[in-house]
Amino acid sequence: MSAQAARHDLARGAQTSAQTLAGRGVLSARRVACGFAIITALAAGHVLSAQPLIGSKAWVRAKLGPFEAVSDDGRNPAIQALSQFEQFRYALGAAMGQSELRLDPPLRIIVFRDAKEMAAQGCDGIHMGRDHLMACAVAGGQLPAPMVRELTHRLLETNFTGIPPATEQALETFFSTVASNAVHVTWGAPPPVAERTRDWALIHRLITQPETSGRAHIYLHNLATGMDANGAIRSMGEDVAKFNADVDRYFAAGVFQTVQAPNRPLNPDRDFVTAILTADEGQLARADLMGPGAEASYIALLKAGKHTAEANEGLGFLALRSGDEDKAGEYFAEACKAGSKNVVALTTYGKWEKHYDVAIDVLKEALTFDPKYAPAHWELGDKLDDPTARLAEWKIALGLAPHNVDWWVSYARLNEGQKHWAEAGRAWTAAAQASSDPAKREEYLSARGRIEQQRLDDEAAEKRRDELAKAAEIDRLKAEARKEIASIEARANSQSPKKNDNAPVLDWWDDANAPTLTGTLTRVDCVGKQLRLTVKETGGAVRVLSIADPSGINVKGGEVTFTCGVQKPRAVIVHYKPAADSAGGVFGQVTGIEYK
């Protein structure tokens, strides 16, 4: 951008801000005119700094890292309040051996003129607002210990996955007494006696004592990334037994001093991104605290046709807070229509939407705005019917939020239900690591210990099911074979010995030229619809002859009744037609039988 274009944009922005301030009664018409004269000079290049205008009494937003501060008292209070949070983040990062700690969602700080004004909003600690984490501060005041503890917890949870619960609690206790202002940070002030555990004393000694403070970040970073405590001690070059003995003596002595902490040099003119907000934007930011007057502010914005999506989002959250899910759904739907890009609101809408197809579309839309928002992945998985797809989304969510114990438990149980034993075991282990409750940790580890037996039991049950299925199949095939044999026998026994009753009746012996075979009938085999007779000749030779259709042969001295299998020896004379090809073992086709 050219210098001329930059001056033009700055002048236009400053003119808008001056008019806004005049509309709010902050500037008189004369001062607006004066302000516009300054703008004109600015545009002409005669005034080189916009700082006096931005620093005037107006709604101002200042940003740095994962924090932003909003003040209706000008730029300086916003920067001063924001600096406290940033100095704390820097000090915590220095102690943990990791700079630029992330915070997700980011934190918006509403800056009040005094404690009384802040108390009127009922703002306490850090809580989720419409689209940001929300906190309140007074520019010149010290951050309260509960808020600092909560901020410590959220920063550790967002940036580290392997901190043991006892160590994490000790870190939260230690940092809850950190004091910071725009320039300096001190740490080490002892908490109430009941909170001074040995783990806290270890952290205090590591960070505040000259002989260990320079190496504290090595121990804490290694511990936070999964190394065991003894390994972390050795990584500092310390003997484990001596180090633990020194900690015991330090804890017993009970002398805990406050020392200077690392601080980040901040330049108010260079390090902060500041912008002047309109009165509507300022009121929206304050309404997002969800405190007294928030509903009225959102409704006023809707009536004015301003920030429609944001106002509907806020009203949706307030409706949920009051238990009116249907009304909340209506507000969130209107926010979507207005073009909401707020991943928090869209995820909440998707979670509570009763029509799963609508909910799935909304959650997928939310993930286009922030693919790393863990709750959106979790809620999307919860809406999917396919267990494989659900597990895939849940796994992504847990990769982004590994401290969520309830999610790990649900993930473990679903894997158990799907017989994914190895993954279920890993999930139970992760749940135990993420839990700060000793009883729950033991419960989850016990569940992990049962996985192997569950796997063996399931394999044994599966083997039994396979064996029973095979046995049932064999029984079925046998029953079908018996039924088929019985059917063949019934047909053979029930049909007329003559193939066609209307055909001329011929004696079986009328074919004087047909060959005969004299011997003993020893066996009848039922092969499909055919019969095969085994006849042992008088000379000892064994012949196999076939009957294609029992009703088509002539019988003398008995009936055409055959039972499959071995026969009681009976003398017979068999009339037959020689087989054209005896390679199949069949000697001929029976045309008649004479029983002796």
Tens of pLDDT along 57-109? 689 999 999 999 999 999 999 999 999 999 999 999 999 999 899 998 899 99
Tens of pLDDT along 460-488? 788 888 888 898 888 888 888 888 888 88
Q: In what order do the strands lie in the sheet with 179-180?
A: 179-180, 185-187, 259-260
Q: How far apart are CA 233 and CA 222, in angstroms?
A: 9
pLDDT of 273 strictly over 50: yes
Q: Which amino acid is at 509?
A: W
Tens of pLDDT along 388-424? 999 999 999 999 988 899 999 999 999 999 999 999 9
Q: How far apart are CA 567 and CA 214, in angstroms?
A: 103
pLDDT of 331 strictly over 90: yes
Tens of pLDDT along 108-138? 999 998 888 888 887 878 999 999 999 999 9
pLDDT of 319 strictly over 60: yes
**For the chain, how far is it from start to end, CA to CA, in angstroms?**
123
Q: Could you write out the DSSP letters of every residue in 486-511?
A: HHHHHHHHHS-SSS-TTSPP--GGG-
Q: How far apart are CA 421 and CA 426, in angstroms?
A: 9
Q: How far apart are CA 554 and CA 507, in angstroms?
A: 8
**Cβ of 406: how many Cβ atoms within 10 Å?**
11
pLDDT of 12 strictly over 60: no
Q: What percent of the chain has pLDDT over 70?
A: 87
CA distances for 169 relative to 161, 261, 396, angstroms: 14, 20, 27
Nearest C-alpha neighbor of 492 from the set 533, 529, 535: 529
Residue 437 phi/psi, 5° resolution? -95, 115
**CB-based contacts of 371: which residues, under 8 Å, 6+ apart?**
none
**CB-based contacts of 319: which residues, under 8 Å, 6+ apart?**
325, 327, 328, 331
Mean of the per-residue pLDDT values for the chain?
85
**pLDDT at 4 (0 to 100):** 41
Q: What is the mean pLDDT of residues 137-154?
A: 89
Q: What is the mean pLDDT of residues 11-40?
A: 35
**Residues 125 and 150 sit within 8 Å (Cβ to Cβ):** yes
**Residues 497 and 551 sit within 8 Å (Cβ to Cβ):** yes
Q: What percent of the chain has pLDDT over 90?
A: 55
User: Checking phi first, is residue 141 left (phi over 0); if not, alpha (psi -120 to 50) or beta?
Assistant: beta
Q: How far apart are CA 20 and CA 25, in angstroms?
A: 9
Tens of pLDDT along 188-225? 999 999 999 999 999 999 999 999 999 999 999 999 88
Tens of pLDDT along 540-584? 888 998 888 887 788 888 776 788 888 888 899 989 888 877 667
Q: What is the mean pLDDT of residues 2-25?
A: 39
